[in-house]
A and B are shown apart, each in its own frame.
Chain A
Amino acid sequence: MFYNNGLPALWLIPALPALGALIIFIFASRMPARAAGIIACSAISLSFLWVLNVGTTLVLGNHHHFVEHHWNWIAAGPFQGSASFYFDLVTFAFTFVVAGVGLLIHLYSYSYMKGDAGERRYFGYFNLFAAAMLVLVTAENAFFMFLGWEGVGACSFFLIGHWYQKSENTVAATKAFLVTRLGDIFLLIGLFLTATLVGVSFSQQSAWTQVATSSFIPGFGGLTGPQLILITGICFLLGAAGKSAQVPLQVWLPDAMAGPTPVSALIHAATMVTAGVYLIARFHILFALSPNLMLAVAIVGVLTAFYGATSAFVQTDIKRILAYSTISQIGYMFLGLGVGAWSLAVFHFFTHAFYKALLFMAAGTVIHSLHNEQNIYNMGGLRTKLKGTYLAFLAGAASLAGIPFITAGFYSKDAILWNTLSTKWGSPVIYGIAMLTALMTAIYSFRLIFVVFHGTPRKDIHVHLPDRLLTWPLYILAFFAIVAGFLNLPIVFGVTPIWEHSFARVFGEWQAEPLIHSHAVEWMALLGSGVLALGGAGIAWLLYSPAKAPMPEPAGDIATVENNTPAPYKAVWANFLFHGWKMDGFYNKTFVRGFRITSGVIAWIDRVFVDGIFEAIQAIVRGFHALVIFFQNGRVSRYAMVMLFGAVAIITILLIGSQR
């Protein structure tokens, strides 16, 4: 049962947290609130141990993958969706993060959610979410994967709306679900096409190469293979964009911060939003067969990265900054996928999961300590009061910014940037935008550090110190956020990149090889991105360091910030104007204003087009409704008249049709 043919059973990985959720939901009313947390933590830790067990068996046994078949779910012609599990290195990376980081977030939640009215419900959905996500990444075929895909959507809906007493939370939850559903429809269409063209099982992926060479596929109205590949790929891309909050379906993620902070950490940083990355990485053969498709993925990625960074730049709510940075970082992952650096996209997912979960949870600690204060301009000076949190946050922000040589984020992001420049699917233009984005990333990361943790407190508030469960997970994550990068040191260091080397077994020939082999160029690129990161941190120091003063921000409640600013600070502000005028003017004009204008443009596009579309839909619905309600007045004669009209219409259509 737990082992078949000497191999560890895969079904246990999602089954353990699912069992936890089941126990919590069934006995919810009969157990103490704290017990739910304990059950949830045990379930996920058992699952994590099992992931390690399976993973080590895979790696040590030098297997390519394991497959485990259970029962046939749908069986009709080529539609062979079965309840089966699949485990290879990609799965290992994802399950490791989902279960491992998930475990840390569970532990953190145990303390964070203490005393919350919906504690049992929270842990039940948390476990269920983990189970669904694990189904998503361990499924053997696209159909079974879709079950997990919808499952995480449903659980995130309940978790975002956890504090449903505030109606905007419910609205945010609904918005998130609906926007991702829009993507899911395209995913479903893509799944249909896949099912028919090559079958849904992941073991059959190589059949795409045969499709690519077909000039005519029966049953598809004479479409050629490459056209079908393009259509399928676009459908998948849109599905992935919905789940991973990529342009143009990114609108839901910032609002989804309405949930408790650990939820944001788990769902909107570490796991669910990366499902799109997983999807494209799984179907890498399909994408690699069409250069246009690759270009589309890369453009979506780089645009999203840029969008996220510019938006993060002007936010004042700490969680929204992190949300936009998530959007931006996943954009980098898509960029990596788009240039054929599959293993590096997965690697960036891997490192990002650590430092983003870390940042969210550290932010959660800050928010918790300051009694639900989320505006960064009402914080400040927390460096001394929350020392551990500060250090952890620093590690995370450094990794996010990509501070060279010591952080994981540097190695994973730089590798993607290098591939953007050097491989056949890359392009210098995209590389340029990506580098600019990297600079902005560094600026806003360190803006967070300086505004939140340095200087003196803006607000006279009592800080209550976090307990051990709120801090220890941070330290563990901080450790990984630093050292995880060493799994894939660049080849110019004279070492083998372990990660890329291992994943070559999965992605093999489909992995893009660098066209530029000059070590000098690679060193230059490496140092270039390092300098950008450090430079960004420096700019942030110039703009936001307490030695100077905070720039006034376009936040809605700047006035309150000003009023809350202690008198000495105002003096510093005047001083700053006096000394740093030229420099700041320069930065203000070039960077800050430039970025603000960009952000403004993007916000305008957002408002006019994206919101405009939604408003247009609403107006249509309203108009339609008014029209229909005019008829729907409960009078039999009115109803009969509509029926009579229908009858006349039917007969007319039939008679006219006969003349044709």
Chain B
Amino acid sequence: MGHYQPLLPDLILAMGATFILLLGPLRDSQNLRDFLRWISLGLVAATAATLVWVNHGMATPYPLVGEGWLTTAPLHTAFAVVFLATIAWTILASTVPDEDAGEWYSMLLFLGTGMIILARAANLAAVFLGLEVLSISLYILIAFRYSKRSSLRGGIMYLLLAGFASGFLLFGMALIYAVFGTLQIAEIRTLALATDMGPMAKVGFGLLLVGVGFKLAAVPFHMWTPEVYESSPGTVTGLIASSSKGAMLAAFIPFLFLLETHWSIIWLFAALSMVGGNLLGLREIRVKRILAYSSIAHIGYVLTGYLAGDTLSANAAFLPSITGVNAVFFYVVAYAASILGAFAALGYIQGERDLTLRDLRGVGRRNPVLAFCLLIFVWSLAGLPPAVGFFGKIYLFSAAINAGYFWLPLIGLLGSAIGIYYYLRIIVHLFMMPADASDPKVHASTLQEWVMLGSAVAVIALGLFPETIFSFLRAF
């Protein structure tokens, strides 16, 4: 048992997902949904608790578990717990018809399994398999409403392009393995830093970055975002934008040694994403697409922080006690808190067609609670104080400045100034436009309204006490 103990969280989650699937037909369908929802919530909580428990008191330097497949480093564990929290949030905020409840919740749990594996991956195979568990669950969740044509279209587009990208990723891994002869990222790191990397390794890492860039939706691998975001269920869109990207970000941390040689690629990713994402959103009128483009810009900001790496700069000027990866962690939490709520809220408003800005008119009057929450989320995404998104940007950019990057934070600041425009348009249409003849339809249960309100309060509270997130990180 002791040997397998570190794998307990993953086991609980995966077996729990199977269990829920089996449980589906056993109960009468009236209470089934609520029943399954609370069970899956309990499973996620148990997983998180186990994760914290098994990692507690690990000796430093943090050992690898599962025969070198997973790391127990605190940052990665913290990431995993955050992703579990997003899954729990989604379980609460989404509702499904009774007969689909089993598949829905078990898919969410499988998605969580993929995330916590990917976030803690310590070898190439774990990265690949974690990513695929995550991706394949997402294919199903995106196409979950198979009765809608657009949903099928989004599902197949994501599936084909993600498959294409993982082909690149896989081939890159093969080349890396061909050069270094090992799957362990730590060993690859040692070998790569010890010798001058040959062209083959460079190509390998380049192809790997294609896969990473696709998952993060960084320009130029961002093309799928608008369509897929548009056609997925609101809560799933939130997960794609937040924790699915976040898991990839966490998985990429061990590869940060690439910054030594490959920083220009990351720099380009970041700059293009910030410029492209913000410019693309300006003329869009479909709300989910606006947020999709904004998510591209946000990945640009995150990559800016990544450039700072995981070490502290010797003569840092701004915020010297915060490393790039810690800033990224902060941002992932801040962004997840905001974007999950925003997409879920749009999901509640969404009608049959694509949701446009015009459809938002009058929501402020029809459902002030939801509109207020959406306002807070958008406020935070725009990076305005006192919402938590403001600090996210500050930490990222100051980390980048400390690492000696000057232009990138500047591009980011200017880009976010441009971006304010489309966030403002959402607010304007929510509150400051007279509604059309028909009132918008807003469907949110009491539970969902409370969940939304809770996360809106959290977004503000984390902005007032941003240190909390770092304390959380230090607790691991």
* A and B found bound together: yes
The segment from B24-32, B104-112, B179-187, B277-285 found at the interface with A is B277-285
Query: Are A636 and B160 within 8 A (Cβ)?
Result: yes
The segment from B40-48, B62-70, B138-146, B384-392 found at the interface with A is B384-392
Closest chain B residue to A143, Cβ basis: B385
A624-B279, A655-B199 known; A196-B318 Cβ under 8 A: yes
Q: How far is the CB of B404 from chain A (nearest CB, A)?
A: 8
- Asked if A568 is at the interface of the complex by the 8 Å CB criterion, the answer is no
Partner of B386, one of A76, A147, A643, A649: A147
Give the residues in chain B near A220, CB-CB below 8 Å: 317
A651-B206, A654-B202 known; A625-B417 Cβ under 8 A: no
Query: Are B224 and A639 within 8 A (Cβ)?
Result: yes
Residues 166 to 182 of chain A near chain B (Cβ within 8 Å): 170, 173-174, 177-178, 181-182
Contact size class for B?
Answer: 35 or more
| Complex Cα spacing A645 to B221, Å | 10
A 204-232 to B, binary, CB cutoff 8 A, 1 in contact else 0: 00000000000000111100000000000
A147-B385, A181-B417, A653-B265 known; A165-B434 Cβ under 8 A: yes
Give the residues in chain A near B321, CB-CB below 8 Å: 76-77
Residues 259 to 283 of chain A near chain B (Cβ within 8 Å): none
Give the residues in chain B near A634, CB-CB below 8 Å: 153, 157, 227
Q: How far is the CB of B216 from chain A (nearest CB, A)?
A: 12
| Complex Cα spacing A188 to B398, Å | 11
Closest chain A residue to B384, Cβ basis: A150
Residues 66 to 103 of chain A near chain B (Cβ within 8 Å): 71-79, 83
- Asked if A482 is at the interface of the complex by the 8 Å CB criterion, the answer is no
Query: Are A164 and B432 within 8 A (Cβ)?
Result: yes
Closest chain A residue to B268, Cβ basis: A653
A74-B391, A74-B466, A77-B319 known; A628-B210 Cβ under 8 A: no
| Complex Cα spacing A628 to B223, Å | 9
Partner of B223, one of A161, A177, A631: A631
- Asked if B161 is at the interface of the complex by the 8 Å CB criterion, the answer is yes
Residues 190 to 241 of chain B near chain A (Cβ within 8 Å): 197, 199, 202-203, 205-207, 209-210, 213-214, 220-221, 223-224, 226-227
Query: Are B206 and A650 within 8 A (Cβ)?
Result: yes
Closest chain A residue to B387, Cβ basis: A150
- Asked if A575 is at the interface of the complex by the 8 Å CB criterion, the answer is no
Partner of B220, one of A221, A625, A643: A643
Q: How far is the CB of A343 from chain B (nearest CB, A)?
A: 30
Query: Are B317 and A643 within 8 A (Cβ)?
Result: no
Query: Are B318 and A640 within 8 A (Cβ)?
Result: no
From A624, A639, A642, A646, residue with most partner B Cβ within 10 Å: A646
Give the residues in chain B near A158, CB-CB below 8 Å: 431-432
Q: How far is the CB of B218 from chain A (nearest CB, A)?
A: 9
Q: How far is the CB of A394 from chain B (nearest CB, A)?
A: 37
- Asked if A22 is at the interface of the complex by the 8 Å CB criterion, the answer is no
Contact size class for A?
Answer: 35 or more
Give the residues in chain A near B428, CB-CB below 8 Å: 161, 164, 170, 173-174
A181-B417, A643-B164, A655-B203 known; A76-B322 Cβ under 8 A: yes
Residues 415 to 444 of chain B near chain A (Cβ within 8 Å): 417, 420-421, 424-425, 428, 431-434
Give the residues in chain A near B322, CB-CB below 8 Å: 76
Q: Say whether chain A's binding surface is mostly helix, strand, loop, or mixed.
A: helix
- Asked if A189 is at the interface of the complex by the 8 Å CB criterion, the answer is yes
Give the residues in chain A near B226, CB-CB below 8 Å: 632
Q: Say whether chain B's binding surface is mostly helix, strand, loop, or mixed.
A: helix
- Asked if B475 is at the interface of the complex by the 8 Å CB criterion, the answer is no
| Complex Cα spacing A72 to B160, Å | 49
Residues 73 to 94 of chain B near chain A (Cβ within 8 Å): none
- Asked if B413 is at the interface of the complex by the 8 Å CB criterion, the answer is yes
Query: Are B424 and A178 within 8 A (Cβ)?
Result: yes
Query: Are A178 and B421 within 8 A (Cβ)?
Result: yes
| Complex Cα spacing A625 to B279, Å | 7
Query: Are A185 and B413 within 8 A (Cβ)?
Result: yes
Partner of B161, one of A625, A639, A657: A639
Query: Are B315 and A647 within 8 A (Cβ)?
Result: no
A 611-655 to B, binary, CB cutoff 8 A, 1 in contact else 0: 000000000111011001001101010111011011101110111
A185-B414, A645-B220 known; A625-B202 Cβ under 8 A: no
- Asked if A154 is at the interface of the complex by the 8 Å CB criterion, the answer is yes
| Complex Cα spacing A63 to B268, Å | 55
Partner of A655, one of B156, B202, B315, B413: B202
- Asked if A573 is at the interface of the complex by the 8 Å CB criterion, the answer is no
Closest chain A residue to B160, Cβ basis: A636
Closest chain A residue to B156, Cβ basis: A636
- Asked if B351 is at the interface of the complex by the 8 Å CB criterion, the answer is no
Give the residues in chain B near A218, CB-CB below 8 Å: 315
Query: Are B432 and A646 within 8 A (Cβ)?
Result: no
- Asked if A499 is at the interface of the complex by the 8 Å CB criterion, the answer is no
Give the residues in chain A near B206, CB-CB below 8 Å: 647, 650-651, 654
| Complex Cα spacing A188 to B417, Å | 12
Closest chain B residue to A638, Cβ basis: B223
| Complex Cα spacing A72 to B467, Å | 9
| Complex Cα spacing A196 to B318, Å | 6
Closest chain B residue to A618, Cβ basis: B282
Q: How far is the CB of A172 from chain B (nearest CB, A)?
A: 11
Give the residues in chain A near B160, CB-CB below 8 Å: 636, 640
Give the residues in chain B near A405, CB-CB below 8 Å: none
- Asked if A192 is at the interface of the complex by the 8 Å CB criterion, the answer is yes
Query: Are B203 and A654 within 8 A (Cβ)?
Result: yes
Query: Are B424 and A192 within 8 A (Cβ)?
Result: no
Q: How far is the CB of A275 from chain B (nearest CB, A)?
A: 15
Give the residues in chain B near A646, CB-CB below 8 Å: 210, 213, 220-221
- Asked if A146 is at the interface of the complex by the 8 Å CB criterion, the answer is yes
- Asked if B454 is at the interface of the complex by the 8 Å CB criterion, the answer is no
Closest chain B residue to A165, Cβ basis: B434
Query: Are A195 and B318 within 8 A (Cβ)?
Result: yes
- Asked if A518 is at the interface of the complex by the 8 Å CB criterion, the answer is no
A181-B420, A654-B262 known; A189-B213 Cβ under 8 A: no
- Asked if A5 is at the interface of the complex by the 8 Å CB criterion, the answer is no
| Complex Cα spacing A45 to B222, Å | 54
Query: Are B319 and A154 within 8 A (Cβ)?
Result: no
- Asked if A658 is at the interface of the complex by the 8 Å CB criterion, the answer is yes
| Complex Cα spacing A655 to B242, Å | 33
Partner of B264, one of A622, A647, A653: A653
- Asked if B308 is at the interface of the complex by the 8 Å CB criterion, the answer is no
Closest chain B residue to A639, Cβ basis: B223
Query: Are A621 and B283 within 8 A (Cβ)?
Result: yes
Give the residues in chain B near A649, CB-CB below 8 Å: 220
Give the residues in chain A near B402, CB-CB below 8 Å: 219
B 2-46 to A, binary, CB cutoff 8 A, 1 in contact else 0: 000000000000000000000000000000000000000000000
| Complex Cα spacing A226 to B293, Å | 41
Partner of A196, one of B317, B384, B386, B464: B317
> Which positions in B face A, CB cutoff 8 Å?
153, 156-157, 160-161, 164-165, 168, 197, 199, 202-203, 205-207, 209-210, 213-214, 220-221, 223-224, 226-227, 261-262, 264-265, 268, 276, 279-280, 282-283, 315-322, 368, 384-386, 391, 398, 401-402, 406, 413-414, 417, 420-421, 424-425, 428, 431-434, 464-467
> Which positions in A face B, CB cutoff 8 Å?
29, 71-79, 83, 146-147, 150, 154, 157-158, 161, 164-165, 170, 173-174, 177-178, 181-182, 185, 188-189, 192, 195-196, 218-221, 620-622, 624-625, 628, 631-632, 634, 636, 638-640, 642-643, 645-647, 649-651, 653-655, 657-658
- 6 pairs of A and B residues whose beta carbons are closest in the complex: A219-B317, A164-B432, A646-B220, A639-B223, A651-B206, A219-B315
- A selection of 11 A-B contacts at a CB cut-off of 8 Å is A76-B319, A170-B433, A174-B424, A174-B425, A174-B428, A178-B424, A192-B318, A621-B283, A632-B226, A646-B210, A657-B261
Given contacts A72-B467, A76-B322, A185-B413, 19 further A-B contacts (CB under 8 A): A77-B321, A150-B386, A158-B432, A173-B428, A192-B401, A196-B317, A621-B279, A632-B223, A632-B226, A634-B153, A636-B157, A636-B160, A640-B160, A643-B168, A646-B221, A650-B209, A653-B268, A654-B202, A655-B202
